[in-house]
């Protein structure tokens, strides 16, 4: 027993000292703080932030329904809701349950052909429903594919590919573990389901947990965030932004970042036929993100017409939500970062866009033997929807809200 307690103490000291912002309640109700003072969140000059919807438990993925209402998945409650802003005042007037009783629903997509349909990715499957725009209901469920359930990563995200592959649905399935050799061939991949042929195939592999994907507005390529493994240090491995190409392997569990070999997991035996973590066999990351930032939602800022809401300095830039670390001794993340890119997606730089969800520690140098104070979190940003005309929506699964950011 003593040995077990010592081991638990060492594990906590190495890996869980920074878990406070995740498990502690917020220091204040951010809906009251923002509505009265605009604080604690800090935005660039010219931007304001307000609460679009609150009381949502733990909202995750957002998308627009064909009726103009926002659809939001709430995995913890097993439901998908519609947010209706009836008077267009920038605040949802009603929260309507579209469907419930689901198995941790996460990814959402809508598609209108002869009728409008809603696609929902649960932990164990992807299904399609008829979408009733009048009553805001999802009915007539039809299962498309089974997915592996359980394990470390439950979230399944979906995205329709751009033309001419608009009948193909991408499905992101995370690994079952922190780092391992998977036994299920559907794990740690982005899969692709063809609505015409009904076939499910591998689109890209070696992706530990690419929870969110988006389409570049100019190149049409798929971009995805990727969470690196845990338990080998505060600063390695980096989290990643990847440009996903069909048939490519992005390295996990052997490689991370710019094709760096994970020697903690893969011990060299000097009997391999080629060097590990080399192109074209494994793809390096496109952009490295500080370790344990937990990047989730990502969205490009569109090119607006001259009279539109977005000025040219923001065109084609990428916003990424850093959900925030749980196992770094000094927490990181808990913010939105702006990646400056040109029209072809070439990296030009980066800077913080929205900060303030994480408070500063009250005592930076605690007395020996005392618990380290690592600050508290008002919230944890998840998904991002960027609209033409200077509007951004951000879901927060700690505060249970959807924010609306406006660019003047």
pLDDT 10s digits, 175-224? 999 999 999 999 999 999 999 999 999 999 999 999 999 999 999 999 99
Question: Would 392 be classed as within a structural domain?
Answer: yes
pLDDT for position 1 = 58
Average pLDDT, the chain: 92
**Which residues span the domain enclosing 4?**
1-60+296-408
pLDDT for position 315 = 96
Q: How many domains does the chain have?
A: 1
Q: Is residue 308's pLDDT more than 80?
A: no
Confidence of residue 370 (pLDDT cuts 50, 70, 90): very low
Give the global pTM.
0.93
Rounded distance, CA 169 to CA 137, Å?
Answer: 22
Tokens of 102: 């689901």
Q: Under 8 Å CB-to-CB from 266, ≥6 apart: which residues?
A: 253, 254, 276
Respond yes or no on whether the N-terminal peptide bond of residue 338 is cis (omega within 30° of 0): no
CA atoms within 13 A on the CB side of 48: 10
Question: Would 400 be classed as within a structural domain?
Answer: yes
CB 256 within 8 A of CB 242: no
Question: Would 15 be classed as within a structural domain?
Answer: yes
Question: Would 133 be classed as within a structural domain?
Answer: no
Question: Would 242 be classed as within a structural domain?
Answer: no
pLDDT for position 232 = 95
Q: Is residue 8's pLDDT more than 50?
A: no
Q: Is residue 16's pLDDT more than 80?
A: no
CB 254 within 8 A of CB 232: no
- In whole angstroms, what separates CA 277 from the centre of its chain? 26
Question: Would 13 be classed as within a structural domain?
Answer: yes
Question: Would 385 be classed as within a structural domain?
Answer: yes
Q: Is residue 15's pLDDT more than 80?
A: no
pLDDT for position 14 = 57
Question: Would 26 be classed as within a structural domain?
Answer: yes
Of all residues in the chain, the percent with pLDDT exceeding 70 is 90
Give the pLDDT confidence of 255-307 residue by residue, as tens digits. 999 999 999 998 765 545 678 899 999 999 999 999 999 999 999 999 987 66
Question: What b/e string do you get for 230-250 counting C-beta neighbours within 10 Å, with b at 16 or more?
Answer: bebebeebbbbbbbbeeebbb
């Amino acid at each position: 027993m003593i040995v077990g307690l010592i081991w638990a103490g060492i594990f906590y000291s190495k890996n869980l000292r920074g878990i406070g912002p995740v498990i502690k309640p917020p220091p204040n109700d951010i809906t009251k703080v923002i509505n009265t003072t605009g604080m604690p969140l800090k935005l660039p000059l010219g931007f304001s932030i307000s609460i679009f919807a609150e009381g949502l438990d733990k909202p995750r993925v957002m998308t627009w329904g064909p009726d103009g209402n926002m659809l939001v998945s709430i995995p913890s409650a097993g439901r998908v809701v519609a947010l209706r802003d009836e008077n267009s005042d920038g605040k949802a007037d009603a929260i309507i349950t579209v469907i419930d009783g689901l198995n941790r629903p996460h990814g959402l997509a809508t598609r209108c052909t002869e009728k409008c349909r809603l696609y929902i990715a649960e932990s164990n499957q992807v299904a399609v429903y008829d979408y009733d725009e009048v009553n805001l209901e999802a009915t007539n469920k039809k299962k498309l594919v089974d997915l592996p359930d359980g394990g470390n990563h439950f979230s399944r995200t979906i995205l329709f590919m751009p033309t001419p592959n608009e009948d193909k649905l991408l499905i992101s399935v995370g690994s079952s573990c922190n780092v391992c050799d998977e036994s299920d061939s559907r794990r740690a991949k982005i899969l692709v389901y063809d609505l015409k042929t009904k076939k499910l195939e591998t689109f890209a592999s070696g992706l530990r947990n690419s929870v969110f994907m988006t389409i570049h507005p100019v190149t049409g390529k798929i971009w995805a965030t990727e969470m690196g493994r845990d338990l080998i240090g505060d600063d390695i491995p980096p989290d990643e932004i990847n440009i996903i190409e069909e048939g490519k392997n992005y390295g996990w569990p052997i490689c991370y970042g710019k094709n760096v070999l994970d020697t903690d997991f893969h011990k060299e035996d000097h009997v391999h036929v080629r060097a590990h973590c080399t192109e074209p066999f494994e793809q390096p990351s496109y952009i490295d993100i500080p370790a344990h930032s937990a990047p989730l939602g990502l969205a490009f800022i569109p090119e607006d017409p001259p009279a539109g809401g977005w000025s040219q300095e923001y065109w084609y830039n990428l916003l990424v939500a850093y959900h925030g670390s749980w196992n770094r001794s000094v927490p990181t993340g808990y913010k939105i970062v702006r990646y400056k890119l040109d029209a072809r997606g070439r990296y030009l730089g980066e800077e913080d866009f929205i900060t303030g969800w994480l408070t500063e520690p009250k005592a930076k140098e605690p007395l020996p033997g005392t618990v380290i104070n690592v600050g508290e979190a008002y919230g944890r940003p998840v998904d991002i929807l960027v609209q033409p005309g200077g509007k951004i929506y951000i879901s927060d699964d700690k505060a249970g809200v959807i924010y609306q950011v406006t660019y003047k």
